[in-house]
Amino acid sequence: MNEKRMLLLSFFVVAFLMFLLAGWYYFSQQKQAVEVVVDRNYDYVMKNDPIGQNKHAQTDYYTLVLSWSPAFCERQRQQYGDNLPTSLQYQCGLTQQFGWIVHGLWSQNKQARRVSDHPRFCQGDLPQLPQDLIERYLPEVPSAGLLQGEWEKHGACMFNNAQDYFEKIKNLYRTLKLPNYELSRTELFKWMRKNNPQLKDVYLGAARNELFICYDLNWQIMDCPSSRTGY
């Protein structure tokens, strides 16, 4: 009987160690993959931005912008073929299968009639963020350049530091249930309202393959203005 118990215990110990080893190997491979595909130079230069700075515009509400990654990546493959730039490898490389990802979280002005009317670059041209900070939020925003650019253009208009901005994005994203297949705009709105009770009676926005969810200054979900505009 004791011998049987010892064998059983040995089996569980070996199985547990194999589980730990497999987990370590998986995460080390994932880490290595991130290091390979993340462009080391992902700084965003304000003077090169075609829209420019507007640090005086008032923030009246916020917009969480979600993007259907397969459609975005298909456009990139049509443009670049098999020669995707390093900046696109993590999101659109053959080993990555993202669905709905976050494009950004934007400060918005309700009187805006063009993109440049919204708050932008409120803290000016900011330095490149540490890579270890960027890597933490790649599951939600799978591009180092996009994370850096969204922080400089939009996040700095609502938070004093990038981590708080990225954490807000992550938390808002995790409150949502999202479909894992492509839908028409009408079907998408219907699906979102059915599967997210907080969106039941809310006016959502959309453009191309992107979905907009709007929040007031207290981070309560609100109707997106029908005339909203912004990037």
Exactly one of 56, 103, 140, 182 is catalytic; name it: 103
CA distances from 47 to 67, 139, 145, 146 (A): 26, 29, 16, 17
Exactly one of 118, 140, 150, 152 is catalytic; name it: 150
Distance, C-alpha 21 to centroid of its chain: 30
CA distances from 204 to 63, 69, 101, 118, 190 (A): 10, 19, 17, 19, 10
Exactly one of 118, 140, 152, 154 is catalytic; name it: 154
* Residue 151: closest CA among 127, 171, 131: 127
**Residue 154 annotated among the catalytic residues of the structure:** yes
Helix locations, 81-184, DSSP H? 86-92, 131-136, 144-153, 162-174
Burial of 171 (0-12, 13-18, 19+ CB in 10 A): exposed
**Residue 150 annotated among the catalytic residues of the structure:** yes
**Residue 118 annotated among the catalytic residues of the structure:** no
Catalytic residue numbers read 103, 150, 154
